[in-house]
Amino acid sequence: MTQDPTLAAPAVESSSVPTPRPRTRRTILTTLAVLLAVAVGGGGFWGWGAAAQDRYETATSALTAQVGEETDARNASDARSRNLVRLAERIRAVAATPAFAADALPEADALREILAELEPVIEASGTAEAIRPPANDEPVSDNDHSLPWQAMAEAERIEGLTGQSQSAEDRLRASAQAATTGRDDLDAAEAAYFTAAATRAEQTIVDNRLSNRSVQVPLIRLIEYARDPAMSSARDAVFLTSMTDAEAQVRSSEAIHQAEAHDPAWAVRREIEAYARSLSNGIALEFIWAPEVSGLGADWLSGTAETYDSDGGWSIISLNYTIENVWYEGSDAHAVVAHEVGHTQVYRENCWPLFSGSAFSQDQEAWATAWSISQGFDEPGSGIEAYGRPTNEQIAVAGTCR
C-alpha cells in the first residue's frame, strides 16, 4: 500500500547545541580590543598628565628660587650703585672748585683722570637698571592648567621667565661688580689726593715758621682730617676750600711778621717777643699788642696769657703799650713778661705735676708769680703787687720747672 503523499513525515528533534556565528566572534574581539586601547590610552593620558604636572611644579619652584637670587642681585647692585654715585657727586664738587682747578699736584691729575674714565660707569649706576622682568610680575598665571597640555604650556612659560630672571641677575651682578671696582678706584684716588694735599700743607707751615700758631692750628686740624680715612665723607668742596684758605692765612701771617721784623718802628716789640720766647722752653708764643689789656693802659704794666695744651702747647700773650714804652727803664716790665710766660709752662710734661700738685693746686696766678720770681724777678711786676708774694716753698717748686 502506498503512503498518502499529503501526509507529512513526523518531525524529529535534535539534541545538539547550534554553533555561534562568525560575526558574533568578531564583535567580541573588537570590543576587547577597544577596551584594551581605552585602558592603554587612559594610562598614557594619566602618565602624560603626571609628567606635565611634575614639570609645572618643578618650573614653579625653580622660578621662585631664581626670583630670590635676582632680588638679592638687584639689592646689591642698587646699594653699590648708590655708594658710587654719592662718592662721585662729592668728588665732582671738589673738582669744580677753583682750588682744585688750579692744583698742579700729580695726585690731582690722577683724580681728574679716574673721574673721567669712570663717567660711563657712574652714569650707568645713576640710572640703575629699572626693568623688572616678568619673573617679578606675575610668575604664576591664574589660568586653568589642570589638563596636561595646559600644564605643559604653563611650565614652558614659567621656564622662560626663569631664563629671563637669570639673565637679569647676571646683568645686575656685573653692574654691582663694576660699581664696586669703580668706587674702590675712585676712593683710592681721592685718598691719595688729600694725603698729598696734607703733605703740602705741612710744608706750608714749615716754610712759614713766623706765622702765628693760632692760624697754624686750624690748618693742622684740616691736615689731620685730610689723612683720616674715617673723615673721608667730610672731604667735600667746602673742606678743600677751607684747607686752601687756611694755607693762605698761614702765608699771610708769615708775610706780616716778615714785614714787621724789618721795620725799625717795631724793633722794641720784636726784642720783647724774642725775650719771652727765650724763656718759654719751646712753647709757641704769639703776641697781641694793645693800648689797654684787662682794662689797664697808660701808667700800668699789664698782660694776659691764653694757654692751650694742644699741638705741643702754645699761647697768645697780650701786652699793653706801656711795657714797650718802659722796657729799658728797669726790670718791672721784664718781670711782667716773665709772669705771662710762666702761665704758658703749666702744660709741659715736667711742669704739670708741679702746678697740679699740693704746692699750687692749679692756682694760676700763684704759679705764674712764683715762676717769675724764680727767674730772678722778686719785685712787684712779677705778680706780687697784684696777687701777693707766694711762699718760699712755692717759689722753689716753680723754679724746678725748666
Residue 346 has pLDDT above 90, yes or no: yes
Q: What is the pTM of this model?
A: 0.74
Q: Give 21 or 136, the one with higher predicted confidence.
A: 21
- Can you read off the three cell numbers belonging to residue 46? 594619566
What pLDDT does 145 receive?
63
User: Per residue in 40-63, pLDDT tens?
Assistant: 444 565 677 788 888 998 999 999
pLDDT confidence tier of residue 398, bands split at 50, 70 and 90: very high
**What's the confidence (pLDDT) of residue 5?**
46
Contact 365, 383 (CB under 8 A): yes
Q: Is the pLDDT of residue 3 over 50?
A: no
pLDDT tens digit sequence for 69-102: 999 999 998 899 889 999 999 999 999 999 999 9
Residue range 112-131, pLDDT digits in tens: 999 999 988 888 765 654 44
What was the pLDDT predicted at 40?
Answer: 44
* pLDDT tens digits, 287-315: 999 999 999 999 899 999 999 999 989 99
The predicted pLDDT at position 141 comes to: 55
Which residue would you say has higher pLDDT here, 161 or 17? 161
Burial class of residue 71 (count of CB atoms within 10 Å of its CB; 0-12, 13-18, 19+): middle
The mean-pLDDT minimum among 17-26, 34-43, 196-205, 297-306 falls in 34-43
The pLDDT value given to residue 44: 61
Q: What's the chain's average pLDDT? A: 87
Q: In the prediction, which pLDDT does 138 show? A: 53
Cell numbers placing 171? 646683568
